[in-house]
Structure 1
Amino acid sequence: MKSVPKSQWTSFCNQVTDALTGLRAEIEVASLDLGDQVQAKSLPILGITYDHKSDVFEIALEGLDHLIRRPESLMVMDSPTGVTSMLVVDWDAVRHVIRFKEPLMLPAPQGD
């Protein structure tokens, strides 16, 4: 994983949103108080933004807006095909893991 400096978060989100269009995301939130909880499973990605004025990360998925207030760090896992996951840790040490996946492609139904 590589760290992305906070000064680059807005431009990083703009680039990543374009690259992630058509993919699906899974969001897992982990903290000592809550344990591990899945917030989203295989939802289409609409966009990822960081607003430095309000200090909020937003992961917009179809049917869900996952907001991370006062994020402290952003780590990204890359592969040859692009970003595969992100880890955002907020001010309260809550870890938000976002994994990106290709949509499941089912074979076309066979006619008789």
Structure 2
Amino acid sequence: MAIRLLERPQRQAYFERVSRHLGATRVGVEIDGLDIGAQREFDDLNLTGLTYDPRSDEVEIFTDDIDHHIAHPREVYVDDGADGLHSVEIVDGEGHKQIIRLKSPLALPRDASPGPI
């Protein structure tokens, strides 16, 4: 895994590419700031997309239940590797750190699936 800065010109294409290959991914968002402390925005929701709109300068996280918007991201860091994207850390326009953690669904062994009774 490598944590790297995602420059503004790269953001839209990167998030579009990630969204095309999400599969069954669960997501959680935490917001940290000196003035607000650490707050869990949501946890363990089905992620349906990530986008960056350069015109509005906004990152959007889409889930089956809610959409989360991050206005005017100052810095965007991605933690990704050969096995995929693990997290995105965004410093928003107010200086708060928003951490987006991606989780893969739990893979069960074949013998753990329910069989006939």
For normalisation by structure 1, the TM-score amounts to: 0.91
Cα distance in 1 for residues equivalent to 2:22 and 2:102: 8
Superimposed CA distance per residue, residues 45-97 of structure 1 (whole angstroms, 9 cap, x where no aligned partner): 11011111111110001111110011111101113211110001112111110
Q: Are the aligned partners of 1:19 and 1:82 in contact in 2 as well (CA < 8 Å)?
A: no
| 1:32-51 mapped onto 2 (5 Å cutoff) | 32-51=34-53
Extract structure 1 runs of 4+ deviating beyond 2 A: 104-112
Note if 1:109 corresponds to 2:114.
yes
Which one has the bigger strand percentage? 1
Structure number with greater Rg is 2
Is there any run of 5+ residues in structure 1 with no aligned partner, and where?
none
**Which residue of the partner structure matches residue 20 of structure 2?**
18
- Listed as ranges, the matches of 1:1-112 within 5 Å are 1-105=3-107, 107-112=112-117
Aligned-residue RMSD, C-alpha: 1.4
